[in-house]
Amino acid sequence: MNTDEKKITLSVYNIVKNEEKQIAGYLSDLVDFADEIVVVDTGSSDKTLEIVDSFVKKYNNIKLYHYQAPGAFHYGQAWNFAIRNSTRGYLVLLATDERLAEDFKNNVRKFLVEKNPDVVKIKRVDESLPHLIDYPERIIRNNLGIYYRSDEGGRVHEQLVHDRKADVFEGIIWHQQRWNHYIYRPQRILFQLELQIERVPKTKSFLGHFLRGIWYFGYRFRKLYFRGKLYKDGKLGFKYAYMRALDAFLVEFFVGLKPNKYPEFWEQKQSRTADDKNV
């Protein structure tokens, strides 16, 4: 590592909840790489906090914070809390079920020196489905005011808001979902499904949303299975593409079932009757 690369400082940040199975391996893999590791707990009830505390006592580059907010959980706002508590020059988002490949660790500082980017997309490869590859924005320069969407749209799907050019770094992030993968634990879609249905407004009739859901199903399946080449991953590739397509359909199906107008319940009727009598 040359002098310029040594000047590059990195904060790896993450939000966690009930990650006792993976958090020790996650932190162990990062302590010698990151200048700062920011862990934001969002309400763990297992041994996650106990494990993180043991690492905090041993390594001074690990910081633990607690995040709580009223109302339904909002991923974008939780990630923004993590960003605000990260202090180094560049910030790297890395989830608990992800690991940095050695080529990432060895070359990322050199890349940041040469490109001097504000935003960086990273190559992420799924451990169980090697043809499932995407390029999420995972590195940002600190103190530029770049944050995740904090409106209703960012409640489930986190998205950075900025107008900067995003450079691409080919160092790999391995997505190691393992027992929590959609292909092994398909019921995972139910948690996010409820949040998505709540967020999406009803703009059509039930039939309109139903037909849109069918179109979304076909579009997402073709995008993942054929254009994304998941057919090369055999039955598991088909299962994953089908599950994600089904998720897209179910959102529209249940949004279509929302009432056009909510009924007036007895408390509201009583209040309206009392108001009429007072007129």
Task: Tell me the HSE value of 244 on the side-chain side, using a 13 A CA sphere.
Answer: 18
Q: Using alpha carbons, select from 124, 164, 132 the residue that is nearest to residue 147.
A: 164
How many Å separate Cα 108 from the centre of its chain? 22
Question: How far apart (Å, rounded) are the C-alpha atoms in residues 107 and 104?
Answer: 5
Q: Would you write out the chain's pLDDT as a tens digit for each of its 279 residues? A: 788 888 999 999 999 999 999 999 999 999 999 999 999 999 999 999 999 999 999 999 999 999 988 877 788 899 999 999 999 999 999 999 999 999 999 999 999 999 999 999 999 999 999 999 999 999 999 999 999 987 766 566 678 999 999 999 999 999 988 777 878 888 887 877 887 888 788 999 999 999 999 999 999 999 999 999 999 999 999 999 999 999 999 999 999 999 987 776 666 666 666 655 665
Do residues 149 and 83 touch, judged by C-beta distance below 8 A?
Answer: no
Q: What string of DSSP letters covers 83-122?
A: HHT--SSEEEE--TTEEE-HHHHHHHHHHHHHH--SEEEE
Q: Using alpha carbons, select from 112, 106, 172, 105 the residue that is nearest to residue 139.
A: 112
CB atoms within 10 A of CB 207: 9
pLDDT at 183: 81
Q: Using alpha carbons, select from 52, 64, 63, 60 the residue that is nearest to residue 25.
A: 52
Amino acid type, 207: L
Collect all residues with Cβ–Cβ distance below 8 Å to 13 and sequence separation of at least 6.
37, 38, 39, 40, 79, 82, 83, 85, 86, 91, 92, 93, 94
Helix (H, G, I), strand (E, B) or coil at 99: strand
272 is written with which tokens? 């309206």
Tell me the pairing of strands 119-126 and 133-134: antiparallel
Question: How far apart (Å, rounded) are the C-alpha atoms in residues 40 and 181?
Answer: 22
Q: In this structure, what is the dihedral angle of CA atoms 159, 97, 77, 10, given to the nearest 10 degrees?
A: -80
How many Å separate Cα 205 from the centre of its chain? 31
Domains, in order of start, for the chain = 3-179 (3.90.550.10), 182-256 (no CATH)
